[in-house]
Amino acid sequence: MSTTGKLKSSSSELDFDRPNIEDYLPSGSTIQQEPHGKLCLRDLLNISPTLSEAAGAIVDDSFTRCFKSNPPEPWNWNVYLFPLWCFGVLVRYLILFPARYRVLVLTIGWMIFLSSFIPVHFLLKGHDKLRRKIERSLVEMMCSFFVASWTGVVKYHGPRPSIRPKQVFVANHTSMIDFIILEQMTAFAVIMQKHPGWVGLLQSTILESVGCIWFNRSEAKDREIVAKKLREHVLGTDNNPLLIFPEGTCVNNHYTVMFKKGSFELGCTVCPVAIKYNKIFVDAFWNSRKQSFSKHLLRLMTSWAVVCDVWYLEPQNQKPGETAIEFAERVRDIISVRAGLKKVPWDGYLKYSHPSPKLKQGKQQNFADSVLRRLEEEK
């Protein structure tokens, strides 16, 4: 496969038999109904449908829409509302923010202190069950502090996750805070991309205690290694329940991109979790291309609150005869419907790589088949 520019062509690992893209594109842009009748010069020269599709993609495409954060409508435009807004800004930046900042610093301090507090491990070495229970409660508590540091108002619906073997939890992904919001209720183990900076430090200290699996998007062989680790973790009886974000990237909480099938071929129950943020208070989408996590956190901490709904949905099992991909799509459907998100047929990793050539070939094949068919009809 040839590479163009600095984006690599996606490896065949990322390519799977995807649902028909034509179902998702707006109706006007699909190649029109199968033409019949004798093949004439006009049919071959008329490339207008293909050109229209290309121009349509240039003007507005369904992939970029997933990562667009729409700026909120300014409402402070008259003489009464503007002073009110100014007052709000003062309260948010001068009162709320310092208070939250202190809570955050406190939390981080505690976290680093406790994680390097190895004696806890040694003291309760013989009492594994008790130690794990304490560790879990500690993590949950610290996450609640973290949530409080940006005044998170979370409404949980549905039965709380139970710690049973052979189950994984999957959720849609909007920002790294998704993990913290879910973690404050249940101490999940998680699979994450290692981040640079202070976030990475936190990741390596705290998350090690709950059980963490690291992956690296840019490494090709990584997928197999990670799949193996996932399987091992799920089968272990004493491990914390595993939380996976199968989209693989942060999306703007209006759409869902395709779920990676890795979490769905572990042979265990999948428990879907849907998360929807209320945009009136703050847009919780972390646009990792545009801002660092620190800036994102700053924005959260200087707004009024982070309000969201979390739904724990009915656990799903792979139906007989259902492929992992169909299973993944079915669960994505369940989550998207519950959280009011639109589905998009693109792989989230297309942020970092080009689409597989198979997609283009699919279109070429369609056209070729139609031409050949019409030739046959003539005979």
C-alpha distances out from residue 108 to 112, 143, 201, Å: 6, 10, 11
Among 60, 77, 118, 119, binds other proteins (CB under 8 A): 60
How many whole angstroms from its chain centre is CA 56? 26
Residue 60 CB, nearest approach to other proteins (Å): 5
By beta-carbon proximity to other proteins, the closer residue of 50 and 137 is 50
Give, as ranges, the residues between 152 and 181 that touch other proteins (CB under 8 A).
none
236: closest CA among 181, 189, 277, 185? 189
**Should residue 13 be labelled a site residue for other proteins when binding is judged by CB under 8 A?**
no
**Should residue 294 be labelled a site residue for other proteins when binding is judged by CB under 8 A?**
no
Q: Which residue has the tokens 């979370």?
A: 154
**Should residue 28 be labelled a site residue for other proteins when binding is judged by CB under 8 A?**
yes
**Should residue 16 be labelled a site residue for other proteins when binding is judged by CB under 8 A?**
no
Among 17, 33, 45, 125, binds other proteins (CB under 8 A): 45
By beta-carbon proximity to other proteins, the closer residue of 73 and 314 is 73
**Should residue 125 be labelled a site residue for other proteins when binding is judged by CB under 8 A?**
no
Q: Which residue has the tokens 């594109």?
A: 25
C-alpha distances out from residue 99 to 95, 126, 150, 278, 316, Å: 6, 40, 10, 23, 42
Considering only the stretches 171-179, 188-196, 280-288, 350-358, report the one whose residues sit in contact with other proteins under the rule CB under 8 A: 350-358
**Should residue 368 be labelled a site residue for other proteins when binding is judged by CB under 8 A?**
yes
Considering only the stretches 41-49, 161-169, 186-194, 242-250, report the one whose residues sit in contact with other proteins under the rule CB under 8 A: 41-49
Alpha carbons 354 and 366: distance in angstroms, whole number = 21
By beta-carbon proximity to other proteins, the closer residue of 148 and 371 is 371
Considering only the stretches 126-134, 190-198, 227-235, 357-365, report the one whose residues sit in contact with other proteins under the rule CB under 8 A: 357-365
The residue type of 120 is: V
User: Strands, DSSP E only, in the chain?
Assistant: 8-9, 152-157, 167-171, 189-193, 212-215, 242-244, 255-258, 269-277, 306-312, 342-347, 353-354
227: closest CA among 208, 246, 209, 240? 246
Contacting positions for other proteins (CB under 8 A): 4-7, 21, 25, 28-29, 32, 39-64, 68, 346, 350, 354-355, 359-361, 363-365, 367-369, 371-372, 375
